[in-house]
Structure 1
């Protein structure tokens, strides 16, 4: 077996042109698949940026809410009711809303304002400039330094702006785990200041964040919240709900899926055609192997080895090129959202195996029909 596989390897790499063409087809297909799925994974990750950055274990919301960007305010008495549930260690309100700020140069810029509980500041970001106590100062806001930071004119501590005819002052600069999805800068302030400065409906509580006494208390908390007419989700469940919304209820998921399928079909056709041409040009060698005693099973091993070797090599090259370009893009474009995950690599690997199987199948069909006397007669 070792000898026959060595022959298979030499047959494959001997014609460098055909081998290179085969690798290019598979590499390009893997590159496109990884790029498309990584872009989708990055978008889904950023769509849950508020959930990730705040870090609350359980979120309470109206059951109709699908994302943090579109929330339905809840009455204040729900917060009191939730705090009285057995198993709740503490519960804090959170305000999340959109606003329009006017910068000192007269430019208007949309922002997302997050209002934290005045007493605990639960969910506050990590500051890289300033102290968190400064948020209690008059007109104080903390700005997140992410990919959208420049849209506010690269503010520093003391920078002033106008928000709904109110004066605002930057008292701190923070960093968060995940940047937002929609290209909008984020400002943090206290809950009371947020509902005071930003026009809102009769109710003002966007979400209620719960810290359970233990993980065993979460199911009971969910049932009690459901009796109140609202929905309680863990951090992971809320993230999955947001992901499902963007996958199935917007055009984003289907469009990226189609691009991924197109790249897969492209790689399948290129590699299949190239491998079939490779088999045709080496029929005499396969016939010679059959003439000197190679069994059909051994020829199948030869084809499968060649197809698998080419597919796995192309997979490695495709993943490497995609990873390099994504890393370079993130260095130059901070707002670039692509994110390579193990799931993306797994999907691409499965598709590559399918490409290898298809290429091997069409090669095996041709080789098994070879008769040695046809080769020598030619």
Structure 2
């Protein structure tokens, strides 16, 4: 068997043009599939950035809310009711909303304002500069140092701006685990200042952050919140709800899926056609092998080895090329959304195996039909 596979390898690489065409087809297909799915994965991760950064175990929200950016304010009695549920260690309100700030140069910039509970500051970010206690000062805000901070002219501690005719002052610079999706800078302040500075509706609680006494208490909390007419989700459940929204209720998921399928078909067509041409050009050699006693099963092993080897090498080249492009893009465009995950790599690998399997099947059918006397007669 070792000799048969060695012979298959020599047949494969002997025609360098056909071999290169096979590799290019699979590499290009893998690159496109990994690129598309990585972008989608990055977008989904950034869509849940607020959930990731605040780190609350349970989120209470209106059932109609499908992502953090579009919250529906809840009345104050919901907060009191949640606090009275057995199994709740504590529950705090959170403000989330958008605003326009006026910079020193007169430019207006959209920002996301997150208002933390005044007493506990649950969900506060890690500070790079400044002290967290300074957030209680008048007009105090903390800015997140991410890819969007340049839109605020890279403010430092003491930088002033105007927010709805109120003076704002940067008292701290924070870092977070994940930056936002929509390219909007983020400012933290206290809940009381947020509802004071930003025009709002009658109700101002965007979300209620709950700390359960134990993991076993979460189902009971969820049941009691549901009886109030609201929804309690764990961090993972909320992130999944946001992902489902972007997958199924926007055109994003459909477009990415279509592009991925197109990438698969491109790779399949190029590889299938090239591999079929390769088999046709080597029919005489396969027929000669049959004539000297090589069994059909061994010929099948040869073709599977050739297709599999090409697929694996093309997969490696495609993943490497995609990783290089994403790395360069992130260096040049800091807010570029693309994350290569194990799921992305696994999906691309399965699709490559399908391409290799279909290409092999086309070649195997042709080789098994050939008869040695046809070769020698011609």
TM-score, normalising length: structure 1: 0.99
Tell me the secondary structure at the aligned position of residue 105 of structure 1: coil
Match of 1:113 in 2: 113
Match of 1:255 in 2: 255
Tell me which moved more, 324-333 or 110-119. 324-333
Deviation of residue 284 (structure 1)? 1.1
Query: What pairs up with 1:261-276 in 2 under 5 angstroms?
Result: 261-276=261-276
The superposition leaves residues 10-42 of structure 1 with CA deviations (integer Å, 9 ceiling, x where unpaired) of 111111111111001000000000000000000
Counterpart Cα distance in 1 of 2:52 and 2:334: 18
The superposition leaves residues 298-336 of structure 1 with CA deviations (integer Å, 9 ceiling, x where unpaired) of 111111111111111101110111111111111111110
Deviation of residue 369 (structure 1)? 1.0
Match of 1:57 in 2: 57
The superposition leaves residues 193-228 of structure 1 with CA deviations (integer Å, 9 ceiling, x where unpaired) of 000000111000000001111100000000010111
Match of 2:236 in 1: 236
Counterpart Cα distance in 2 of 1:185 and 1:257: 30
Query: What pairs up with 1:91-130 in 2 under 5 angstroms?
Result: 91-130=91-130
Deviation of residue 278 (structure 1)? 0.6
Counterpart Cα distance in 2 of 1:258 and 1:166: 48
Matched, 1:204 2:204: yes
Counterpart Cα distance in 2 of 1:372 and 1:358: 25
Counterpart Cα distance in 1 of 2:314 and 2:270: 12
Counterpart Cα distance in 2 of 1:128 and 1:293: 74
What residue ranges of structure 2 are gaps of 5+ in the alignment? none
Tell me which moved more, 100-109 or 11-20. 11-20
Aligned residues: 378
Counterpart Cα distance in 1 of 2:322 and 2:328: 10
Q: CA RMSD in A?
A: 0.6
Matched, 1:366 2:366: yes
Counterpart Cα distance in 1 of 2:124 and 2:20: 53
Match of 2:178 in 1: 178
Tell me the secondary structure at the aligned position of residue 89 of structure 1: strand
Runs (4+) of structure 1 exceeding 4 A deviation are: none
Counterpart Cα distance in 1 of 2:330 and 2:57: 30
TM-score, normalising length: structure 2: 0.99
Match of 2:21 in 1: 21
Counterpart Cα distance in 2 of 1:284 and 1:127: 72
Tell me the secondary structure at the aligned position of residue 370 of structure 2: coil
Deviation of residue 337 (structure 1)? 0.6
What residue ranges of structure 1 are gaps of 5+ in the alignment? none
Tell me the secondary structure at the aligned position of residue 334 of structure 1: coil
Counterpart Cα distance in 2 of 1:20 and 1:328: 26
Match of 1:133 in 2: 133
Counterpart Cα distance in 2 of 1:289 and 1:50: 64
Deviation of residue 348 (structure 1)? 0.4
Counterpart Cα distance in 2 of 1:249 and 1:59: 22
Match of 1:147 in 2: 147
The superposition leaves residues 66-112 of structure 1 with CA deviations (integer Å, 9 ceiling, x where unpaired) of 00100000111111111111111111111000000000100000000
Match of 2:281 in 1: 281
Match of 1:325 in 2: 325
Counterpart Cα distance in 2 of 1:291 and 1:56: 71
Match of 2:11 in 1: 11
Match of 1:70 in 2: 70
Deviation of residue 375 (structure 1)? 1.2
Counterpart Cα distance in 1 of 2:166 and 2:202: 20
Tell me which moved more, 323-332 or 60-69. 323-332
Matched, 1:356 2:350: no
Deviation of residue 5 (structure 1)? 1.1
Tell me the secondary structure at the aligned position of residue 211 of structure 2: strand
Counterpart Cα distance in 1 of 2:128 and 2:10: 58
Counterpart Cα distance in 2 of 1:370 and 1:327: 49
